[in-house]
Structure 1
């Protein structure tokens, strides 16, 4: 499983996705963080966030390492989540502009028809954003903006982040033994 973290606000979502996937012990976790993602992680979560989640991953790849294993379709993965996904990263994906490892790894997921979840984090949206989301959806990605489930009545921001992260992991259609509060009607 690959987790990408780009520079959009909401870096805690990527941290929680890594924590949840690592806790299952059922997947080899690869992590790639863009330079803007590193900066946002430090600002929003703290300087220790990146070293902490990098330690949970089997492999932490440098964003500039376009020759990494996850840049090749012959390296089999179960899927990828980009949490959060910046508009810059979304736009690069929509244009197939694979100038860094995160976007290259996404491109590989798409060309190999593997599960890909993009937690696009931006508001409000203009037509260019919407067209980029439509394009990546047509390519096979799942666009899943990090919207809180108010029916779960989260008491804290951490509870809302946890639910959003669990929902994104669930979109990979892989049973990782992660339960979340589901709507019961």
Structure 2
């Protein structure tokens, strides 16, 4: 199972589109949405939260500290935090498991499971970079939401698909979501 966590950074579309891609690939998912992310979803997507929850096989409340997802005995293969706010990056880097999202990330690192953070902030302060480096040194993958332009994107979906495809790539899930680099002839 792949757990998807959506935090309150701009770019919630990335998390929703990843959920859609995994559903299409028939890969079991669990979902966590932070309270700030619920606000951002209203602004950026104008989507119903229940519709987004329905894309996942399981939903876990981000503030439910006694949820089964918070335990190292809960079975999951990977956690993708997409988008990942700098607040969440800081909590993970410093072992501050104040909610289910940072707790599950803590479990992923200590249990040596895949952890992918699609960091969303610009510009970055030294402390942001240091926190991401700290997580990377522990085995987390930092995959900033930096779409490429070599594939000549025509719209937002093309740019979103690039990031979703890169996430699937690092999870070793075959996909053809985005156009890969080809040397011009």
TM-score (norm 2): 0.94
- 1:110-137 per-residue CA deviation (whole Å, 9 max, x = no partner) reads 1110111100000001111110111111
For 2:4, the equivalent position in structure 1 comes to 3
How much does 1:75 deviate?
1.6
For 1:28, the equivalent position in structure 2 comes to 28
1:19-168 equivalences in 2 (<5 Å)? 19-25=20-26, 27-48=27-48, 50-168=49-167
How much does 1:47 deviate?
3.7
* Unaligned ranges ≥5, structure 1: none
Distance 1:182 1:47, change over 3 A: closer
How much does 1:145 deviate?
0.4
C-alpha RMSD over aligned residues? 1.1
* Unaligned ranges ≥5, structure 2: none
- 1:83-120 per-residue CA deviation (whole Å, 9 max, x = no partner) reads 10000000000111001001111111111101111000
* Number of equivalent positions: 181
SS of the residue corresponding to residue 76 of structure 2 reads coil
TM-score (norm 1): 0.94
For 2:179, the equivalent position in structure 1 comes to 181
- 1:45-96 per-residue CA deviation (whole Å, 9 max, x = no partner) reads 1142x22120111111111112222211212212011110000000000111
